Copies of this chain bind each other. A is one copy, B any other.
Amino acid sequence: MRASDRAYQALRDDIVEWRLPPGTVLGEVEQAERLGVSRTPLREALGRLTAEGLAAPHSGRGVVVTAISLDHAVELFELRSALECQAASLAARRGKREQFRSLQQEFDSAAALLRGDDPDRHRYYELVARLDTDIDEAAANTYLSQALKNLRVHLVRIRRLAKDNPDRLLASATEHANIAGAIAEGDGQLAAAATLLHLHNSLDHLKSTQQSTPQSSERTAS
């Protein structure tokens, strides 16, 4: 693997895992030494991060890790709903019905999984990821997929703000089942509606957990 790819992945992981919190200045020499690569590939990595919006130029001198807060989450979900509703709608029109019918059934039975402990919960997250991937593929739209891919980087980062609780996960499974079901029916409008509902509830949940523990305001001012 190329040094620039390694640097990019390392930095990206460090940012989305909050090991490099928002506001951190990413000096070229400093990061190059830390990651054991030269400045040239590291600059390429920083360029990619900047293009994705994970980092931003800092007053002419270096780049900083961009801030992420509840306000950003609201904006992010406005973009997300537009993209995912469209994706779901297109998938309903173009996807294979059996594929999404079976996903729906998996989500229906996932309720059982979620009563278990962490290993099972991990399998649930994999299932969600599979639905996303399959919708992407069924939508068969390169540009839309690319936009969603860019978006998901930020969503991973946001996820650290939310605390999953069992009730929400259970509701989420039902919502996902509804989405998969609507796509399986080939009903684009319904699929978009189910997606919108799911995203609305997800954001609501995020807001409620944030209001009770507003711990992120320490960095967002930078």
- Please report A residues at the B interface, Cβ cutoff 8 Å: 40, 43-44, 47-48, 51-53, 72, 75-76, 78-79, 81-83, 85-86, 90, 141-144, 146-147, 150-151, 154
Query: Are A146 and B53 closer than 8 Å at their CB atoms?
Result: yes
Query: Are A143 and B79 closer than 8 Å at their CB atoms?
Result: yes
Q: Quick one: closest B residue to A84, CB to CB?
A: B82
In whole Å, how far is A34's beta carbon from the nearest beta carbon of chain B? 21
CB neighbours of A141 from chain B (8 A): 75, 78-79
Given A82-B83, A85-B82, is A144 in contact with B75 using a C-beta cutoff of 8 Å?
Answer: yes
Q: Quick one: closest B residue to A85, CB to CB?
A: B82
In whole Å, how far is A92's beta carbon from the nearest beta carbon of chain B? 13
In whole Å, how far is A135's beta carbon from the nearest beta carbon of chain B? 14
Q: Quick one: closest B residue to A142, CB to CB?
A: B75
Query: Are A78 and B86 closer than 8 Å at their CB atoms?
Result: yes
Which of B53, B86, B142, B150 contacts A82, CB < 8 Å? B86
CB neighbours of A52 from chain B (8 A): 51
Can you list 28 A-B contacts (CB < 8 A)?
A43-B44, A44-B44, A44-B47, A48-B51, A51-B52, A53-B143, A53-B146, A72-B142, A72-B143, A75-B141, A75-B143, A75-B144, A76-B143, A78-B86, A78-B90, A78-B141, A79-B83, A79-B144, A79-B147, A81-B86, A82-B83, A82-B85, A82-B86, A82-B144, A83-B83, A143-B151, A143-B154, A147-B150
CB neighbours of A154 from chain B (8 A): 143
